[in-house]
A and B are shown apart, each in its own frame.
Chain A
Amino acid sequence: MDRLDEGLLAGLMARGVSRRSFLKLCVTMTGVLALPAAYAPRVAAAVAAAPRMPVIWLRGQGCGGDTEALLRGANPTTAELLLDLLSVDYHDAFMMSSGTAAVATQAEVRARYPNGYFAIVEGAIPTAEDGAFLTIGGRPFGDIVREVCAGAVGTIAVGSCAFDGGLASANGGSTGAVGVGRIVSDARLVTLPGCPVNAENLTATILHYLTFQAMPATDGRGRPLFAYGGLIHNQCGRRSHFEFGEFVQAWGDEGAQKGWCLYKMGCKGPETFANCPTVRYASGTSWPVKAGAACIGCTTPGFWDAMSPFSGRLPSPIPFAPDVSADQVGQVLVGGVGVLVAAHGTASFARSKLARIRARSSPAETARLSVAVPAGPTATEPSPAAPEAAGPVESTPTATAAERAAEPSVVPAEPSAAEPTATAVEPSVVPAEPVAATQPGEPAEAADPVPTVEPSPTVEPSPTDDRTPTDDAAVDPAADTTATDGR
């Protein structure tokens, strides 16, 4: 039975999968791939005629959560994915064989399907101690990854650990843990970070290949744009609450019960590229923010360091703009360490700008701005060339006593018509750090080798801050520097 002659749909139907559920899968995946609906028939036709791709799935230095995510699959079901759609020839969580027989399976697949199988890798690869921190069959895991991925038609790194070393590499770690990209050449590597990966994105990536004979378009880190092309903040179901200044101030408060924005509880949605709010988990059932938990930014490089402490707001130079993408924002801003450096640089840059702004602003404006700027290092420019030692960023969700004493009571710049009383409690829970903002829709300058987005101080959203462009222009130091000295 030559697999190339049979075609997937014929095989599927022989195994009891209905044509209807097959079509439903293709329609769903067309949506996940962010393709127009008109593509669905093309996806269906291509997948129906496709061979059953062999897969070698390697579990490395991780918790196995990405396999568990796979086991939550609804459409296709896990059984369909494992047994019908794909030929999962090697996966140590399911396979019958053990030991040398299991290991021999890898060699068999490589010999039988040269450049004809998927390599899927979860977990990191430890490189210290000659690879002794993870051996399988007595071999360092890195050697196995190198060998298996070399003969694959494409490699998919699933989960944050396979993306960049993940938890094992947090704060450097003790095993030299790295992601698959450091072992395998970038050309045929697609990465699907997330802790764990969203299995729907994995299925969509595979179906994209079956349809177009090519992996989906990716950003500079290998992440498919259909899944990681947009900020969570720009897709979030609670965004309207952010815009109206309706925030959860404390766990379980009235705002929490009303499903308000979790920005002040440390939500990293504004800094995170992923499609969790739209694709969600368990066939669209929910995702962390919808369940009431702040996003931890788990698709971000080095997120265990870059996005922690998870319950506090962090400085972020990523602008509140609808179309910003990871590549636009720039390498240094997507890299975890770079975020920390830019953040410290941001704070000091902001203070120097603040002094100039203060000189020309109204007292009310100055008071509002005072809330936004923290104490911190006194470097005057951001210096991404000298990365700081990675470590958790010190950040408290509540201001220190000294800062609280210096803060004025709330002075609204413009009283708005409807001020929800529940959010009148300020500023003790306003985190004191700046967040960069360019004009909405203003693209970053791609040609700039240093951070392409000029960080600037701005106020934290308050109930009365309607964030009009004129307000932003008034405090935007980028505008300040490009203007003449006559201001």
Chain B
Amino acid sequence: MTRLVIDPVSRVGGNLRVEVELTAGTVTDAWTSATMYRGIERTLVGRDARDAWLYAQRVCGTCGITHAIASARAVENALGIAIPRNARLLRNLMAGTQLVVDHAAGFYLSQSLDWVDLASALDADPASTSTLARSLSDWPSSSPSYFGSVQQRLATLVRSDQPGPFAHASWGHPAYALPPDANLMVAAHYLEALDWRRRIMRIQVLLGGKSPHPQTFLVGGMAVAAAWGGPMRPSPGEHQWDLETASPAALSANGLSDISGLIDEARAFAEQVYVPDVTMIVKAYAGRSPIDAGIGHYLSFGDFAEDDSERPTLLLPRGRVMGNDLSGVVAVSETGVGESVDHSWYTTGADDGTLVAPGVGRTEPRYAGPRPPFDTLEGFDRYSWVKAPRYEDDPMEVGPLARLLVAVASPGATPHALARAVSQVGLEPEALFSSLGRTVARATESLFVANRLGPWLTNLKDDLAAGDLAMADISMWDVASWPAEARGFALAESARGAVGHWVTIRNHRIASYQIVDATTWNGSPRDARGRRGAIEQALIGTPVVDPDRPIEILRTIRSFDPCLTCAVH
């Protein structure tokens, strides 16, 4: 029995350390540890509650939009504010765009090279690569000369004495299963994804001023304003130069047209590049037994309200699937969430093993690990900056797979579009509970949400055309109108999974604030009953051919798309 330490785990959000116990080449135990703490929940105490979302947004530079919106919604919930329809549509557009891009670009940048061997791509025949690409989709960049030029570019880089980020790769590892032309095709798409992400993010910059950390959110709605005189008339303050140099106001005709075109580009990439690539990967790897099933309990808070009622229909539905049982969905409410710190570097002052509801929770850091520098966390009962959230005392997995399973298992529903997309991939239901399942669920969800961006934009345009220009409810902007104390919460879904914010406001300032993020669930350490978190559990039983190149472990970890920065906040 040997202990293997991997720190840092690259190509994840934030700072992740994983230690596994290997017995005869198989993982028999695992510990995931976030090695960074900031304390944003404590920073928020005392701040003007109307500013909370600005702080909360900085929980993460990738999914900050979800945290900003969840924070604004938590304060709106506390004060009983209902945002106008246009604000809901704008928030859906920005958060939806972010999810689509996080999934697709995140796959190529962070996960794809766990399934694709770049060195093998250099041996591919560009002509057969072109044939393969054209058999999968109509994506235009698919000629033999295109793949040839990509191959040359990669070869020059990889074989030079300055391979940059591709140094020390696990080329030729037996865990890779794709033929050379498939590897070259995905490598080409990796490079395309880098530029595609940049282009699509222009939506966020138009609507929010900058990306990451767009700035037009408000308690009460959005600060983006409709153009005076309607979309067809340039704003009086807008310099003509701006219009000519493609910097229109977001809600002007030019701006809306730009956003519409970018939405089409986003859709096209998801449909013609991302989903076909993942489909091909799943087919190539599906023969191997699913070794990383994990906990078997899946949680979705749901998100993307489709109407303005008090209990709106959610595009990504809310619910739980327990014990891999797809015959029904169990209800979810915020009262079911509790966090213990039994194996985490915090104290609650009382029994750290008790599950504390975030509405009354606190964050008191208390480091109890080895004095740095250290070699191992072995022997330390407390081993992570992540708290251990549980739903009614059960560990849960969150993320696109959880959302897919909840959608599939929802009673009486017509076959959900997500489920249909997955069945087209040819994955048996049992095989979904795996790293491959997480990977394909992410891809199909990306396309699913991308298909909704256009209709949301159309609804917004229709509202503006009909003269409904309200972007925010500011009836409670003046804090003098607030009650002495108010409590609120918001449940949301980032690309990575379920996100919850809980706030208590006293005299218009934040008295307490708690966040439970997606990777808090997935990257959770053990709880007081010794049950592992989702990633830890999924690693059990993973075969490791070469401990110096543990690609099998890293592949499973990255299939969760974890962000330890978010998890700890």
CB distance from B556 to the nearest CB of A (A): 13
B157 surroundings in chain A (CB, below 8 A)? 15, 83
Selected from A135, A237, A308, the residue in CB contact (under 8 A) with B35 is A135
Is the pair B372, A252 in contact by a Cβ cutoff of 8 Å? Answer: no
Residues of A within 8 A of B220 (CB): 251
Q: Closest residue of chain A to B246, judged by CB?
A: A285
Q: How far is the CB of A475 from chain B (nearest CB, A)?
A: 30
Q: Which residue of A lies closest to B245 (CB)?
A: A284
CB neighbours (8 Å) of B235 from chain A are 257-259
Q: Complex: how many Å from CA A291 to CA B160? A: 44
Known contacts A69-B212, A71-B194, A260-B237; A52/B37 CB under 8 A: no
Does A280 have its Cβ within 8 Å of any Cβ on chain B?
A: yes
Which residues between 117 and 161 of chain A lie within 8 Å of chain B, taking CB atoms? 126, 129-140, 143
Tell whether, in the assembled complex, residue B212 and residue A291 are in contact, meaning their CB atoms are under 8 Å apart: no
Of chain B, the residue at the smallest CB distance from A90 is B165
User: How many positions in chain B have a CB within 8 Å of any CB in the partner chain?
Assistant: 111
Find out whether the CB atom of A1 lies under 8 angstroms from the CB atom of B160: yes
Chain A CB within 8 A of B39 CB: yes
A391 touches B46 (CB 8 A): yes
Contact B194 A61, beta carbon cutoff 8 Å: no
Q: Are A94 and B165 in contact (CB under 8 A)?
A: yes
A94→B109 contact, CB < 8 A: yes
B60 within 8 A of A: yes
In the bound complex, CA of A61 to CA of B224 (Å):
31
A366 interface residue (CB < 8 Å to B): no
B55 touches A291 (CB 8 A): no
Alpha-carbon distance between A63 and B58 when the two chains are bound, in angstroms: 6
Contact, CB under 8 Å: A52 / B162? yes
Task: State whether A291 touches B209 (Cβ < 8 A).
Answer: yes
Q: How far is the CB of B517 from chain A (nearest CB, A)?
A: 12
Q: CB distance B50 to A309 under 8 Å?
A: yes
User: Does B5 belong to the interface (CB within 8 Å)?
Assistant: yes
Q: Please indicate the chain B residues that have their CB under 8 angstroms from the CB of A167 in the complex.
A: 38, 40, 43, 55, 58
Contact B375 A95 (CB under 8 A): no
Contact with B along A324-357 (1 / 0, CB 8 A): 0000000000000000000000000000000000
Query: Residue A135 contacts which of B206, B374, B548 (CB distance < 8 angstroms)?
Result: B374
Is residue B296 contacting chain A, with contact meaning CB distance below 8 A?
no
Residue of A nearest to B371 (CB): A130
User: Is there a chain A Cβ closer than 8 Å to B470's Cβ?
Assistant: yes
Q: How far is the CA of A262 from the CA of B166 in the complex (A)?
A: 47
Q: Which residue of B lies closest to A257 (CB)?
A: B228
Nearest-Cβ distance from residue A277 to partner chain B, whole angstroms: 11
Give which listed residue, A52, A237, A254, A311, contacts B48 with CB less than 8 A: A311
A376 CB–B CB distance under 8 Å:
no
B14 CB-CB contact with A under 8 Å: yes
**Given A52-B162, A136-B7; A171-B46 close (CB under 8 Å):** yes
**Chain B interface SS verdict (over half):** loop
Q: Is the CB of B369 within 8 A of A132?
A: yes
**With A63-B60, A250-B477, A396-B479 given, is the CB distance from A137 to B245 under 8 Å?**
no
| Interface check A418, CB cutoff 8 A | no
What CA separation (Å) do A126 and B47 show in the bound complex? 23
In the complex, are the beta carbons of B209 and A293 less than 8 A apart?
yes
Q: What is the CB-to-nearest-CB distance from A116 to chain B, in angstroms, rounded to a whole number?
A: 12
Q: Which residue of B lies closest to A91 (CB)?
A: B165
Of the residues B38, B250, B373, contact of A286 by C-beta under 8 Å: B250
CB-based nearest B residue for A262: B223
B61 near A63 (CB under 8 angstroms)? yes
How distant is the Cα of A88 from the Cα of B163 in the complex, in angstroms? 9
- In this assembly, does B239 line the interface, its C-beta being within 8 Å of a C-beta of chain A? yes
Assembled-state Cα–Cα distance A224/B13 (Å):
29
- Within the assembled complex, what's the spacing in Å between the Cα atoms of A171 and B43? 7
Question: Judging by beta carbons under 8 Å apart, are A140 and B373 in contact?
Answer: yes
CA distance A173 to B476 in the complex (A): 30
Are B43 and A97 in contact, with the CB atoms below 8 A?
no
Closest to A400 in B: B480
Q: Which chain B residues in 200-232 approach chain A with CB under 8 Å?
A: 201-202, 205-216, 218, 220-221, 223-228
* Chain A neighbourhood of B201, CB < 8 A: 72, 282
On chain B, the residues within 8 Å of A101 by CB distance are 168, 548
Which residue from A86, A139, A310 sits with its C-beta under 8 Å from B54? A310
Report Cα–Cα, A140/B369, bound state, in Å: 13
Residues in chain A near residue B347, CB distance under 8 A: none
A98 to B365, CA, bound (A): 28
User: Which residues of the partner chain B approach A88 to less than 8 Å between Cβ atoms?
Assistant: 164-165
Give the chain B neighbours of A16 by CB distance below 8 A: 149, 152-153
- Residues 284-307 of A contacting B (Cβ, < 8 Å): 284-294, 296, 304
- Tell which of A240, A252, A281 has the most Cβ of chain B within 10 Å: A252
Among B9, B60, B153, B166, contact of A96 (Cβ-Cβ < 8 Å): B166
B7 to chain A: closest residue by CB? A137
* Chain B residues, CB < 8 A from A133: 36-38, 365, 367
Knowing A65-B213, A196-B61, A292-B216, the reply to whether A170 touches B43 (Cβ < 8 A) is: yes
**Which one of B37, B110, B236, B372 contacts A258 once the chains associate, using CB atoms below 8 Å?**
B236
Whether the pair A392, B48 counts as a contact (CB closer than 8 A) is yes
User: Which of A95, A170, A285 is B167 in contact with, Cβ under 8 Å?
Assistant: A95
Q: Which residue of chain B has its CB nearest to the CB of A241?
A: B237
| Interface contact A174-B210, CB-CB below 8 Å | no
Q: Do A66 and B61 touch (CB < 8 A)? A: yes
A134 and B51 contacting across the interface, CB-CB below 8 Å: no
From A73, A98, A288, contact of B6 by CB (8 A): A98
Q: Which residue of A lies closest to B249 (CB)?
A: A259
Residue B471 at the chain A interface, CB threshold 8 Å: yes
Binds B, one of A39-47, A74-82, A212-220, A456-464: A74-82
Report the minimum CB–CB distance from B372 to chain A (whole Å).
5
On whether the beta carbons of B195 and A79 are closer than 8 Å, the reply is: yes
Chain B positions within 8 Å of A74 at CB level? 198
B197 to chain A, nearest CB (A): 6
In the complex formed, the residue of A with least CB distance to B368 is: A132
B554 interfacial contact with A, CB 8 Å = yes
The answer to whether B62 has its CB under 8 Å from any CB of chain A is yes
Please determine whether B474 and A250 come into contact, CB atoms closer than 8 angstroms: yes
Q: How far is the CA of A1 from the CA of B110 in the complex (A)?
A: 29
- Contact B210–A286 (Cβ < 8 Å): yes
B257 in contact (CB, < 8 A):
no
Q: Is B10 located at the chain interface by the 8 A CB criterion?
A: yes
What is the CA–CA distance of A101 and B548 in the complex, to the nearest angstrom? 9
- Whether the pair B209, A288 counts as a contact (CB closer than 8 A) is yes
Taken together as a complex, chains A and B put the C-alpha atoms of A237 and B478 apart, in Å, by 28
Bits for A161-199, please: 1 = Cβ < 8 Å to B, else 0: 000000110110111010000000000000000011000
Distance (Å) between the CB of B438 and the closest chain A CB? 19
Residues of B within 8 A of A132 (CB): 367, 369, 371-372
- Contact A65–B47 (Cβ < 8 Å): no
Decide yes or no whether B161 CB sits under 8 A from chain A: yes
Bound form: Cα–Cα A140–B198 in Å:
33
A404–B374 CA distance with the chains assembled, in angstroms: 61
Q: A96 and B170: CB pair below 8 A?
A: yes
| B210 nearest CB neighbor, chain A only | A281
Q: Known: A280-B247, A284-B247. Contact between A134 and B167, CB under 8 A?
A: no
Any chain B CB within 8 A of the CB of A221?
A: no
- In the bound complex, residues from chain B placing their C-beta under 8 Å from that of A170 are 43
Question: Which one of B8, B205, B469 contacts A281 once the chains associate, using CB atoms below 8 Å?
Answer: B205
Contacts of B470 in A (CB 8 A): 252
| B408-440 near A? 1/0 per residue, CB < 8 Å | 000000000000000000000000000000000
Given contacts A63-B61, A93-B11, A136 and B35 within 8 Å (CB-CB): yes
B191 proximal to A (CB < 8 A): yes
B156, A14: Cβ atoms closer than 8 Å: yes
B64 located at the interface, meaning its Cβ lies under 8 Å from any Cβ of chain A in the complex: yes
Q: Flag if B215 contacts A288 (CB, 8 Å).
A: yes
Given contacts A96-B10, A96-B113, A293-B215, 4 further A-B pairs with CB under 8 A are A64-B14, A95-B167, A136-B35, A309-B50
For this complex, 6 residue pairs linking A to B, each with C-beta atoms less than 8 Å apart, are: A89-B164, A96-B166, A135-B374, A291-B214, A291-B216, A308-B48
7 shortest A-B CB distances, which residue pairs?
A65-B61, A259-B237, A291-B209, A288-B209, A96-B169, A97-B168, A293-B215
